[in-house]
Amino acid sequence: MGDKPLISARDLSVHYPISGGGLFGPRPVVRAVEGVNIDIAKGSFFGLVGESGSGKTTLGRALLRAAPITRGSIHYDDGEVQYDLPSLDARTLKEYRKRAQLIFQDPYAALSPRMTVRDIIAEPLEVMKLTKTREETDARVREIAEKCRLNLEHLRRFPHAFSGGQRQRISISRALVSGPQFIVADESVAALDVSIQADVLNLLKEIQQDMGLTFLFISHDLSVVAHVCDHVAVMYLGRLVETAPTRELFAAPRHPYTKALMSAIPSLDPDDRGRAQKLKGEIPSPTNPPPGCKFQTRCPYAIDICRKDEPKLESSGTAHEVACHRWKELMEDHALEDA
């Protein structure tokens, strides 16, 4: 893995105006993503976790320039080309689309029922005019389909004939066909059955390694992220609260929210019931976020400063960064408790 980031965002914010508010008052906005700094290393499998409403999907779309960027910079550099994403004109944006693609969550909604599998996979090639002849298109489609372990005889069929796992392999083929460098996989296995999910995860990982791609893997499922990603960022209410190499994060989570998320995963051990450190309440509305640390309304360790000042992501000289006023103190306390 190279150290140079493929994508580097600074102070990235995405605000959506919503209806409501007084006639002369300011228009209320949803701060879906607020002041995010993120570096995604080239060739990495980068995980982004958070609950619904945390802004993870919006962040993923912003990095694809598929969400309106309110503030901040995003720099893309794959070694061949560099783009400054917020200022791309329409023509350059089209070029960027060849290099950055999205795999959707729901393989049932993402595929047109009126197109054959071959046409679905070929569409990006035709739209982006990447191939000149039909033969060339066919050859490219077959090559990608094979890579995604699709049965080539199925290319003439329509998507309704396929199971969820097969459909997701079709979606993956379509995302890969234009030869992208950067893939955003948004909850790409969430709709799949457990026995199929493992298969699609292995496929994604294999493709990423074989083709040297960079993945942003968005998921609510920490155990899935732990298995496939090499770096993880945790989001809460539009902010990154913790980011670290996967092993480090799971071995020693620093943010109380990350800890709570981990302990909320139901244990497979029937004798290990009720061990979870339960979070009270729910994620606040992004139209009206609490002052100070966004997690203070649910945090069992919140003190005065947490209610006033918003903590910034800070590191202790490593790639492990956390945005919490009390993380050091809490880590020491926990070490004491464990001892």
Partner 1 sequence: MTRLLDVENLTLQFDTDEGRITAVDNVSFSLEEGEVMGLVGESGSGKSVTAKSLMMLNPGNAHYSDETRITLHLDGKPIDIMGLRGNEMQVVRGGAISMIFQEPMASFAPAITIGDQMVEQLLIHTSMNAKKCKEVSIEMLDRVGISDPSTRFKQFAFELSGGMRQRAMIAMALSTKPKLLIADEPTTALDVTIQAQVIDLMKDLVDEFGMGIVFITHDLGVIAQTADTVAVMYLGRLVEQGTVRDVIRNPAHPYTQGLIAALPDLDKLDVPLSPIPGDIPSPLERPPGCVFNTRCSQVVGPACTTVIPTFTEVSKGHTAACHIYSQNQSEGAA
Q: Is 226 in the site for partner 1 (CB under 8 A)?
A: yes
Q: Which structure tokens are listed for 305? A: 């400063």
Angle between helix axes 194-211 and 164-176 (nearest 10 degrees) is 20
Q: CB 119: neighbour CB atoms within 10 A?
A: 16
Minimum distance from residue 46 beta carbon to partner 1 (Å): 16
Burial of 133 (0-12, 13-18, 19+ CB in 10 A): exposed
Strand partners, 71: 13
Using the contact rule CB under 8 A, the part of the chain among 80-88, 117-125, 264-272, 299-307 near partner 1 is: 264-272
Using the contact rule CB under 8 A, the part of the chain among 73-81, 92-100, 124-132, 187-195 near partner 1 is: 187-195
Using the contact rule CB under 8 A, the part of the chain among 34-42, 121-129, 158-166, 179-187 near partner 1 is: 158-166
User: Do 45 and 215 touch, CB atoms closer than 8 A?
Assistant: yes
Cα–Cα distance, 306 to 324 (Å, whole number): 8
Q: Is 271 in the site for partner 1 (CB under 8 A)?
A: yes
Q: Phi, psi (5° rounding) for residue 166?
A: -65, -40
Minimum distance from residue 153 beta carbon to partner 1 (Å): 15
Minimum distance from residue 49 beta carbon to partner 1 (Å): 10
Q: Is 262 in the site for partner 1 (CB under 8 A)?
A: yes
3-state secondary structure 242-284: EEEEHHHHHHCCCCHHHHHHHHHCCCCCCCCCCCCCCCCCCCC
107 or 180: CB nearest partner 1: 107
Q: Phi, psi (5° rounding) for residue 66?
A: -110, 10
10, 71, 157, 227: which one contacts partner 1 (CB under 8 A)? 227
28, 35, 43, 164: which one contacts partner 1 (CB under 8 A)? 164
Minimum distance from residue 109 beta carbon to partner 1 (Å): 15
Q: 3 CB contacts (<8 Å, ≥6 apart)? A: 41
Q: Is 44 in the site for partner 1 (CB under 8 A)?
A: no
- The footprint of partner 1 on residues 49-68 (CB under 8 A) is 51-52
Q: Which structure tokens are listed for 217? A: 């893997």
36, 63, 176, 279: which one contacts partner 1 (CB under 8 A)? 279
Q: Is 163 in the site for partner 1 (CB under 8 A)?
A: yes
Q: Can you give the binding site for partner 1, defined by CB under 8 A?
A: 51-52, 163-166, 193-199, 201-202, 220-224, 226-227, 246-247, 250, 260-262, 264-274, 276, 278-280, 282-283
